[in-house]
Amino acid sequence: MKIKPKIHCLIASGLILFSSLAFSQYPNRTIKFVVPFPAGQATDIFSRIVADELSQTLPQKVIVDNKGGANGIPGTLYGKEAAPDGYTLTMASSSTIAVNPALYPGLPYSPKDFEPVNGVFIVPLLLVANQNSPFTTLKQIVDYAQSNPGKLEWAYSAPNQQLAEELLKTRAKIDILSVPYKGSGQAVTDLIGGQINLAVETLPTIAPHIASGKVRPIAVMTAKRIPQLPNVPTVAELGYPGFEGPGWGGILAPKGTPKEIIEKLSKDIRVILANPEVQKKVNDRGAIVDSRDFKQWGEFVNAEVAKWAEIVKIAGIQGQ
């Protein structure tokens, strides 16, 4: 009877030894980044930047495996079901890991099915106006909307843009009609043409039109001002402290991935993201780097999941 505790200790010791051995040899084969979107999409672009840099840092290659479609659900599920050994990682986005759980109650994965590894990028969202509209400041928009509830309209072309609009409506206590578009192209065309006065759009999409003077930037929805448009204020500094509603992305590992592997990957990725050349690549593509480590980024993701769940409930939005 007394032999069982010894057996348990031996088994535990063996597992620890096996884990230590596996980590000491990591990585000894190709690492795969699963991107739940098609090639060329923002998450894919920034995944490839990090994968290319990691391939030069690690003794093994890092490749990108695109598994797009269905709002990123199949690709993220694939990442969830991968072996927790550090060789299959998922490039998560705000839509797949924070917005989808709020929109789809029967989602086949949960943020709790993953281990956070590191942040990678933030894609700023901007509140913009038609150049000929009467609005030049956020205060003007809020004042008009409060005096004329339901008479203003703003465009969106993706769920995270819609939720950012709803978040601002909730914080500012205003009623603006959100008008859905199937793609950013038509939304921007109507904004420039004056068919709609306002829109929430991504920086990569709207930056050329700001530069040409066809669209007026009102505020950026990131926590801090962005290097691409340093003179554009944040929503937070315009009277809504703590407001943050950008798109973002980072790396997740399947639940149960050894902590040593998580910490190694996080450290290596942060070194890459601190490189000025990498930061320039990200900035030139309309984003900014997010170098929060596995702990900081995990806390951020948890807060985002809770925030968007609350906004979806308040606004009564349902997934389509």
Average pLDDT over every residue of 302-312: 95
The tens digit of pLDDT for each residue in 173-182 reads: 999 999 999 8
Average pLDDT over every residue of 178-188: 92
Mean pLDDT of the chain: 92
d(CA 34, CA 82): 10
Q: Specify the pTM.
A: 0.88
Check pLDDT > 70 for residue 232: yes
Encoded amino acid at 314, one letter: I
Q: What pLDDT, on the 0 to 100 scale, is given for residue 25?
A: 84
Do residues 183 and 222 lie in contact, with contact meaning Cβ atoms separated by under 8 Å? Answer: no
Q: Which two tokens stand for residue 162?
A: 């819609």
Q: What pLDDT, on the 0 to 100 scale, is given for residue 17?
A: 46
d(CA 107, CA 88): 21
d(CA 172, CA 263): 40
Do residues 243 and 167 lie in contact, with contact meaning Cβ atoms separated by under 8 Å? Answer: yes
Least confident of 2-6, 189-193, 251-255, 292-296: 2-6
Check pLDDT > 80 for residue 11: no
Question: How many Cα atoms within 13 Å fall on the side-chain side of residue 289?
Answer: 20
Average pLDDT over every residue of 174-191: 94
**Beta-strand pair 198-202/125-130:** antiparallel
Kindly indicate the confidence band of residue 235, based on its pLDDT and cuts at 50, 70 and 90: very high
The tens digit of pLDDT for each residue in 260-275 reads: 999 999 999 999 999 9
Q: What pLDDT, on the 0 to 100 scale, is given for residue 24?
A: 73
CA angle 152, 155, 159 (to 5 degrees): 125
d(CA 317, CA 130): 27
d(CA 104, CA 272): 35
Average pLDDT over every residue of 112-125: 97
Torsion of CA 261, 267, 270, 274, to 10 degrees: -150
Do residues 115 and 79 lie in contact, with contact meaning Cβ atoms separated by under 8 Å? Answer: no
Average pLDDT over every residue of 222-235: 97
Kindly indicate the confidence band of residue 251, based on its pLDDT and cuts at 50, 70 and 90: very high
Helix axes of 294-315 and 159-172: crossing angle, nearest 10 degrees: 70
Q: Please give the radius of gyration of the chain, using alpha carbons only, rounded to the nearest integer.
A: 22
Using a 10 angstrom Cβ sphere, with 0-12 exposed, 13-18 middle and 19 or more buried, the burial of residue 132 is: exposed
Check pLDDT > 80 for residue 7: no
* Local structure of residue 131 (DSSP, 8 states): T
Check pLDDT > 50 for residue 102: yes
Average pLDDT over every residue of 63-89: 96
Q: What pLDDT, on the 0 to 100 scale, is given for residue 317?
A: 87
Whole-number Cα distances in Å, 56 to 40, 49, 60: 22, 11, 8
Q: What pLDDT, on the 0 to 100 scale, is given for residue 3?
A: 46
Check pLDDT > 50 for residue 2: no
Q: What pLDDT, on the 0 to 100 scale, is given for residue 8?
A: 52
Q: What pLDDT, on the 0 to 100 scale, is given for residue 13?
A: 47
Kindly indicate the confidence band of residue 152, based on its pLDDT and cuts at 50, 70 and 90: very high
Using a 10 angstrom Cβ sphere, with 0-12 exposed, 13-18 middle and 19 or more buried, the burial of residue 270 is: middle
Q: What pLDDT, on the 0 to 100 scale, is given for residue 10?
A: 54
